[in-house]
Amino acid sequence: MDLSSQESNFPSNEWEENLVEKLQEIQNCQKQSEIDSCLKCKKILECDLRKQYVSAVYSSMNKGSNGGFEF
């Protein structure tokens, strides 16, 4: 996934910025572990980084509120 082209599509807000940051961290971890998906990692169920990424995805979809999603 090319992050540079993806970043230009994101509206500039704190939730999107956090999502991009967490995505970069996940991708760096995958590179270091020499895998292309978290599903291939033994630590997937206990991984704090993945939990933070999932939380960032959820927050970016609902813009930090506890309600619906914006698509």
Specify whether the CB–CB gap between 29 and 44 falls below 8 A.
no
**Helices 48-62 and 14-33, packing angle to 10 deg:** 150
Give the integer Cα–Cα distance in Å for 71 and 65. Answer: 14
- For 4-53, the pLDDT digits (tens) are 444 445 456 888 899 999 999 999 999 999 999 999 999 999 999 999 99
Model pTM score: 0.69
Examine the pLDDT at 2 and tell me if it is beyond 60: no
Nearest partner of 26 among 16, 15, 37, judged by Cα: 37
Give the integer Cα–Cα distance in Å for 52 and 45. Answer: 12
